[in-house]
Amino acid sequence: MDYGGVLTDGAPMLALPGRARAAGLPTALVSDGNEVPDAVRRLFDVVVLGAQIGARKPDPEVFRRVAAMLDVPPQECVMVDDLARNVRGARAAGMVAVQHHDVDVTVCEVGILLDLPPV
Protein backbone atom coordinates (compact mmCIF):
# COMPACT_ATOMS: atom_id res chain seq x y z
CA MET A 1 0.00 0.00 0.00
CA ASP A 2 0.90 3.61 -0.42
CA TYR A 3 0.74 6.12 2.42
CA GLY A 4 -0.13 9.60 1.12
CA GLY A 5 -3.45 9.65 -0.71
CA VAL A 6 -4.32 6.11 0.42
CA LEU A 7 -3.77 5.44 4.11
CA THR A 8 -4.34 9.12 4.81
CA ASP A 9 -7.95 8.66 3.66
CA GLY A 10 -9.25 7.61 7.06
CA ALA A 11 -9.95 4.74 9.42
CA PRO A 12 -11.35 2.21 6.91
CA MET A 13 -8.15 2.47 4.85
CA LEU A 14 -5.95 2.26 7.94
CA ALA A 15 -7.84 -0.88 8.97
CA LEU A 16 -7.01 -2.76 5.74
CA PRO A 17 -3.46 -3.81 6.67
CA GLY A 18 -4.68 -5.14 10.02
CA ARG A 19 -7.46 -7.08 8.35
CA ALA A 20 -4.94 -8.60 5.92
CA ARG A 21 -2.55 -9.52 8.74
CA ALA A 22 -5.41 -11.05 10.75
CA ALA A 23 -6.07 -13.25 7.71
CA GLY A 24 -2.42 -14.38 7.81
CA LEU A 25 -1.23 -12.26 4.90
CA PRO A 26 2.04 -10.30 4.97
CA THR A 27 1.80 -6.57 4.40
CA ALA A 28 4.07 -3.88 3.00
CA LEU A 29 4.01 -0.11 2.83
CA VAL A 30 5.83 1.48 -0.11
CA SER A 31 5.98 5.26 -0.09
CA ASP A 32 8.05 7.80 -1.96
CA GLY A 33 8.04 9.84 1.24
CA ASN A 34 10.94 9.75 3.66
CA GLU A 35 8.90 9.14 6.79
CA VAL A 36 5.55 7.88 8.03
CA PRO A 37 4.08 7.99 11.52
CA ASP A 38 5.22 5.18 13.82
CA ALA A 39 1.60 4.08 14.28
CA VAL A 40 1.36 3.52 10.53
CA ARG A 41 4.74 1.82 10.36
CA ARG A 42 3.56 -0.74 12.94
CA LEU A 43 0.68 -1.80 10.67
CA PHE A 44 3.10 -3.41 8.20
CA ASP A 45 5.58 -6.26 8.09
CA VAL A 46 7.80 -4.36 5.63
CA VAL A 47 8.13 -0.59 5.19
CA VAL A 48 10.05 0.84 2.23
CA LEU A 49 10.47 4.60 2.05
CA GLY A 50 11.94 6.65 -0.78
CA ALA A 51 14.76 4.97 -2.65
CA GLN A 52 16.00 2.90 0.31
CA ILE A 53 16.07 -0.31 -1.77
CA GLY A 54 17.64 1.25 -4.85
CA ALA A 55 14.42 1.69 -6.83
CA ARG A 56 11.43 4.00 -6.56
CA LYS A 57 7.85 3.86 -7.68
CA PRO A 58 6.73 3.53 -10.44
CA ASP A 59 9.70 1.35 -11.43
CA PRO A 60 8.43 -2.26 -11.49
CA GLU A 61 11.67 -3.30 -9.79
CA VAL A 62 10.59 -1.71 -6.49
CA PHE A 63 7.47 -3.87 -6.49
CA ARG A 64 9.42 -7.02 -7.32
CA ARG A 65 11.91 -6.31 -4.52
CA VAL A 66 9.19 -5.67 -1.97
CA ALA A 67 7.41 -8.89 -2.96
CA ALA A 68 10.69 -10.74 -2.43
CA MET A 69 11.05 -9.10 0.99
CA LEU A 70 7.61 -10.49 1.84
CA ASP A 71 8.60 -13.89 0.37
CA VAL A 72 5.56 -13.73 -1.90
CA PRO A 73 5.57 -13.93 -5.71
CA PRO A 74 4.46 -10.63 -7.28
CA GLN A 75 1.54 -12.44 -8.92
CA GLU A 76 0.13 -13.12 -5.45
CA CYS A 77 0.37 -9.49 -4.31
CA VAL A 78 -2.28 -6.79 -4.31
CA MET A 79 -0.95 -3.23 -4.44
CA VAL A 80 -3.04 -0.13 -3.68
CA ASP A 81 -1.99 3.35 -4.79
CA ASP A 82 -3.77 6.54 -5.77
CA LEU A 83 -1.51 7.32 -8.74
CA ALA A 84 -2.04 5.63 -12.10
CA ARG A 85 1.69 5.53 -12.90
CA ASN A 86 2.36 3.50 -9.74
CA VAL A 87 -0.53 1.15 -10.52
CA ARG A 88 0.97 0.60 -13.98
CA GLY A 89 4.40 -0.08 -12.42
CA ALA A 90 2.96 -2.68 -10.04
CA ARG A 91 1.05 -4.34 -12.87
CA ALA A 92 4.23 -4.44 -14.97
CA ALA A 93 5.85 -6.29 -12.06
CA GLY A 94 3.04 -8.85 -12.23
CA MET A 95 0.94 -7.64 -9.30
CA VAL A 96 -2.77 -7.06 -9.12
CA ALA A 97 -3.10 -3.32 -8.55
CA VAL A 98 -6.02 -1.23 -7.35
CA GLN A 99 -6.10 2.48 -8.04
CA HIS A 100 -7.61 4.17 -5.01
CA HIS A 101 -10.23 6.85 -5.67
CA ASP A 102 -12.97 6.08 -3.18
CA VAL A 103 -12.63 4.57 0.30
CA ASP A 104 -15.68 2.31 0.10
CA VAL A 105 -14.79 1.00 -3.35
CA THR A 106 -11.14 0.36 -2.46
CA VAL A 107 -12.02 -1.39 0.82
CA CYS A 108 -14.52 -3.58 -1.03
CA GLU A 109 -12.15 -4.41 -3.92
CA VAL A 110 -9.22 -5.25 -1.65
CA GLY A 111 -11.48 -7.31 0.59
CA ILE A 112 -12.65 -9.35 -2.38
CA LEU A 113 -9.17 -9.76 -3.85
CA LEU A 114 -7.69 -10.89 -0.53
CA ASP A 115 -10.79 -12.89 0.49
CA LEU A 116 -11.05 -10.93 3.75
CA PRO A 117 -14.03 -11.39 6.06
CA PRO A 118 -16.55 -8.56 5.67
CA VAL A 119 -16.54 -5.74 8.21
Q: Is 107 inside any structural domain?
A: yes
**Average pLDDT, integer, range 26-35:** 95
Confidence band (pLDDT; 50, 70, 90) for 118? Answer: confident
78 in a domain, yes or no? yes
* Helix (H) or strand (E) run with residue 114 in it: helix 103-114
pLDDT in tens, 51-94: 899 999 999 999 999 999 999 999 999 999 999 999 999 999 99
- Domain hosting 99: range is 7-114
Interatomic CA distance for residues 36 and 4, integer angstroms: 9
Domain count, the chain: 1
> Is there a domain that residue 1 lies in?
no
CATH code, domain with 108: 3.40.50.1000
Percent helix / strand / coil, the chain, rounded to 5:
45, 15, 40
